[in-house]
Structure 1
């Protein structure tokens, strides 16, 4: 799992989210209140509401207008499936496969302690061979 968590809060805006996705080259960001996860925002969620995929040339002003129409809370997934740090790699892989997720937050005693992604799993498997 990745322990160095890049997170957002309810008060952050979608422009900040896009900046974090791009700067850190990540696809999923937990939304937190203190150390508690309250949602998950994926880059796909963000692209769903933007014109980025359909615009012939990148026009940041269009995205800014669209992003200002929504809040993090409106776009994030609220019913987040989590696992704890004692969950086996096999169990995590099974959840990701069955639910067609690409990331799972790791929560111990109500506190977000990490995130495991399909990339993390692939890197782990590559190291095993």
Structure 2
């Protein structure tokens, strides 16, 4: 049986609301073990999709570490440094800009902290459905034009899960090992 997104996805997805302030999202991101959140318009009451999945809300965008850095430091002055040292399995990206001094950074933080996430989120989100094949998920994760680490899984316009690169690697490893 071929693996599908529903076999790989995590259904307990942390999300943010489009009206959440940038400062709130930055705080949550600093405490998270990942680099972005799906942005959803949450339903008034808990609902299920036609496939029986718990709907987390309508997916309207994603906000990532990179989106947040971009509002504080223009991309032409930002240097992304991937750091991955044993025993860590994942790399951590640090963004630095040596041309900014502390006062500039503090003023910029204060200026943008109250902005709603809807103003900075990426609205054109690459997604898959629960029945998407492993190859479909890999196509999104390997897209050259975007650096996608997570693929939202959407059914009937509602976020029902998320598949990470780590999820795919673990599934491939288990499949190769056999029963």
Q: Secondary structure at the match of 1:83?
A: coil
TM-score by length of 2: 0.62
Q: Work out which of the two has the higher radius of gyration on C-alpha atoms and give 1 or 2.
A: 2
Structure 1 segment 1-129 matched on structure 2, within 5 A: 1-34=9-42, 35-51=57-73, 53-54=96-97, 61-62=106-107, 64-68=109-113, 70-98=115-143, 99-100=145-146, 101-128=148-175, 129=177
Distance 1:103 1:66, change over 3 A: farther
In the TM superposition, residue 78 of structure 1 has moved relative to its aligned partner by: 0.8
Counting matched residue pairs gives: 129
Unmatched segments (≥5 aa) in structure 1: none
TM-score by length of 1: 0.82
Farther-moved stretch of structure 1 (47-56 vs 18-27): 47-56
Q: Secondary structure at the match of 2:127?
A: coil
Give a deviation string over 1:37-89, Cα, whole Å, max 9, x none.
00101111112222562268988845631433643111100111211111111
RMSD over equivalenced CA pairs, Å: 2.5
Unmatched segments (≥5 aa) in structure 2: 1-8, 43-56, 74-94
Larger RCO (alpha carbons 8 Å, 6+ apart): 2
Q: Once superposed, which parts of structure 1, at least 4 consecutive aligned residues long, lie more than 4 Å away?
A: 55-63
Given that residues 49 and 66 in structure 1 are in contact (C-alpha distance below 8 angstroms), is that contact kept between their aligned partners in structure 2? no
